[in-house]
Amino acid sequence: MTTSELACVYSALILHDDEVPITAEKINALCKAANVEVEPIWPSLFAKCLGDKDVGSLISAIGSAPAAGAGAATGGAAAAEAAPAEAEKEPEPESEEESDDDMGFSLFD
């Protein structure tokens, strides 16, 4: 993340904390007050992205994503059918080139 992006993130969080509407002008003002040079595109992008959103709910939702295993549990019949298909697959035989026995030495020689 560049310094410009990070400065805009912090500015947006400051504006949200002070319950001030997030606009490009206010993000620019905060960045100038902090003596941070910001590329002109970033404040307008952040303002368009966050201006009409509830930033508090976005912050709260960061850690509430379901775990990777939870998706399989909610999959229902599709997940139940996929599990036996995976169990039926036979392991591929190890090729002779990858076998340690053919090298003439072991780990402890």
What's the pLDDT at 33?
92
Q: Using the Cα atoms of residue 35, residue 41, residue 42 and residue 47 in order, give the sign of their dihedral.
A: positive
Q: Please, are residues 24 and 44 in contact by the beta-carbon 8 Å criterion?
A: yes
Q: What is the pTM of this model?
A: 0.53
SS3 68: helix
Residue 15 lies in a domain: yes
Residue 28 lies in a domain: yes
Distance of CA 79 to the CA centre of its chain: 25
Domain count, the chain: 1
What's the pLDDT at 31?
92
Nearest to 50 by CA among 74, 85, 26, 81: 26
Residue 61 lies in a domain: no
Residue 105 lies in a domain: no
Residue 13 lies in a domain: yes
Supply the CATH number for residue 35's domain.
1.10.10.1410
pLDDT tens figures, 54-92: 777 777 777 776 666 555 555 555 555 555 555 566 666
* pLDDT band, residue 35 (cuts 50/70/90): very high
29, exposed or middle or buried, with CB in 10 Å at 0-12, 13-18, 19+? Answer: middle
Structural domain of residue 27, as residue ranges? 3-52
